Amino acid sequence: MTHTQGAIFLDRDGVINENSAEHIKSWDEFTFIPGALDSLRDLAQTGLPIFIVTNQAAVNRGMMSHETLDDIHRRMIAIIEEAGGRITKVYYCPHDNHEGCECRKPGSGMLKQAAAEFGINLKESFMVGDAWTDVGAGFGVGARSILLLTGRGRWNFAPAWNRFGLNFAAACDIADATTMIRAALAGHPMESTARLRNAFHMALHPREALVL
Ligand SMILES: [Mg+2]
Ligand SMILES: [Zn+2]
C-alpha cells in the first residue's frame, strides 16, 4: 500500500453549520449553512473518506458534556446522510488552550489520528475551514488547505496570510471549496472559482491569494 488515498477534512462550525461566538452547546443552536448539505452530498460522490475535525473546548470549559456533543453529531450525521452525504468519522478536541494537547487546531493531531486509523495519505488530502487554525492544521501535515469566507473566515484571512503566505487557497463557502476539490481530483490546478473572483471584483493570484 504505497499509494494510500487522501481524504477530505472539514471543520464544523462556520463550514457545515453557522458559527456562534457562544459555542453550539445543544442541537437547538445548530443551523446548517445554506447549501452545505448539497455540498456534502457532492463531496461524498468523490469517494474519498470525509472527516470532521472540530475544536470543542466548550466541553472542558464545562459548558457542554461529551454526551451532548455526541448527540449533536448523531443528529447532524442523520440529516447529512438523508441528504445523500456521508461522514466517515467525527473527531473533536475537547481541550482548552492551556491544556497543551496535540489535537487542538492549529495542531494536526486529529488529522494524524484519522490517518493512522484509516490509512490516509495526508499529503493527498484537503483541509477546509473558516479559521487560520484550520489552515494551520492542514499545513502542518502537507494537506491542501482551503479557507472559507463563511463563519469567521473574513476575519481569518489576514492571520492566515501572515502565517502561511501563499500556502492556502480561499473559497466563498463549502460549495465553492467543493468545486475546487473536484477540479483538483480531476487533475486540474486548484484555482479560485469565478464566484470568489466576482465577489471581490478583482483577479486573484493563481494560488488563490487575494487582497481584501
Ligand atoms: Mg470553524
Ligand atoms: Zn485536544
Q: Which tens digits make up the pLDDT trace of 75-91?
A: 999 999 999 999 999 99
75 with 27: CB under 8 angstroms? yes
How many Cβ atoms are within 10 Å of 65's Cβ, its own excluded? 13
Output the furthest CA–CA distance in the chain (Å, rounded).
47
Q: Which ligand neighbours the alpha carbon of 21 most closely? A: 1
pLDDT digits over 117-140, tens only?
Answer: 999 999 999 999 999 999 999 999
Read off the C-alpha cell for 26. Answer: 445543544
d(CA 97, CA 28): 26
Q: pLDDT value at position 62?
A: 97
Ligand 1 centroid – CA 1 distance (Å):
33
Confidence (pTM): 0.93
The total number of residues written for the chain in this structure = 212
Q: Would you state the CATH architecture of domain 8-200?
A: 3-Layer(aba) Sandwich (3.40)
Residues with catalytic roles? 11, 13
- In the three-class reduction of DSSP (H, G, I as helix; E, B as strand; rest coil), residue 50 is classed as strand
Residue 109 belongs to what H/E stretch? Answer: helix 109-118
Ligand 2 centroid – CA 82 distance (Å):
30
Exposure letters 105-123 (e unless 16+ CB within 10 A, then b): bbbbbbbbbbbeeeebbbe
User: Is the model's pLDDT at 181 over the cut of 90?
Assistant: yes
| Count of helices and strands (H, E) across the chain | 7, 6
Q: pLDDT band for position 203 (50/70/90)?
A: very low
Ligand 1 centroid – CA 15 distance (Å):
6
Q: pLDDT value at position 3?
A: 60
Phi then psi dihedrals of residue 210, to 5 deg: -140, 160
d(CA 69, CA 55): 11
Ligand 2 centroid – CA 100 distance (Å):
8
How many Cβ atoms are within 10 Å of 1's Cβ, its own excluded? 6
Q: Which ligand neighbours the alpha carbon of 110 most closely? A: 2
Ligand 1 centroid – CA 31 distance (Å):
13
Ligand 2 centroid – CA 9 distance (Å):
16
| Beta pairing partners, 170 | 147
Q: pLDDT band for position 50 (50/70/90)?
A: very high
Ligand 2 centroid – CA 107 distance (Å):
9
Domain ranges of the chain: 8-200
**Residue spans of beta strands (DSSP E) within the chain:** 8-10, 50-55, 89-93, 126-129, 144-148, 169-171
Q: Which ligand neighbours the alpha carbon of 96 most closely? A: 2
